[in-house]
Amino acid sequence: MVIKQPDGPSLLALERQVRESGTTLEASALQGSWRLQQVWSKGASASSPLSNWALQGLRARLELELLHGPKLRVSNAVNLGPLELRFIGEGQLKGKRPLLIFSFQTMTIKAWGRCVMQRTLPAPAPKRLPFFALIGRSPDGWLAARGRGGGLALWAHEPMPDAK
């Protein structure tokens, strides 16, 4: 299935609109596995072909699962062959834009599907929590957001993997 994705200028225009009027995005609309498609560095109007290629090759993805109330399970993962590096934590939406504010509590490394290392991560200072400022989620199957560091990311929805 081919997902029609917005280009950089379209995302920037949508972002300007969302900054003024917010979105109607709710946590339930974010559920699923999101494969990273494109990234733009802070201030860049064109995506980075090398970063896009590398992150797609690593199967970089964001997985969001609705827990209780407004809370979400947030997972970021990459794979290099049979190796998987995954960060797992919780987050929630705040504000009218909204911001997906999260914190990773655990890091795991798996090899051939078996956990070979798991570490608890220190909590960041409350004013340094990572976040994604959500820009939009399309029925066509894409999600766009700007991260705390200023980079812009575009993900495509994909079926959730069976095992975490």
> What structural domains and CATH numbers belong to the chain?
8-153 (2.40.128)
Answering whether pTM is above 0.85, one says: yes
Q: Quote the percentage of the chain above a pLDDT of 70.
A: 95
The answer to whether 71 touches 64, Cβ cutoff 8 Å, is no
CB neighbours of 161 closer than 8 A, spacing ≥ 6?
33, 63
Of 47, 84, 42, the residue nearest 63 (C-alpha): 84
pLDDT at 1 exceeding the cut of 60: no
Number of H helices, E strands in the chain: 3, 9
- Classified as helix, coil or strand, 59 is coil
Q: What's the CA gap between 45 and 67, in Å, rounded?
A: 35
pLDDT per position as a tens digit, 33-56: 999 999 998 877 788 888 889 999
Q: Is 123 helix (H, G, I), strand (E, B) or coil?
A: coil
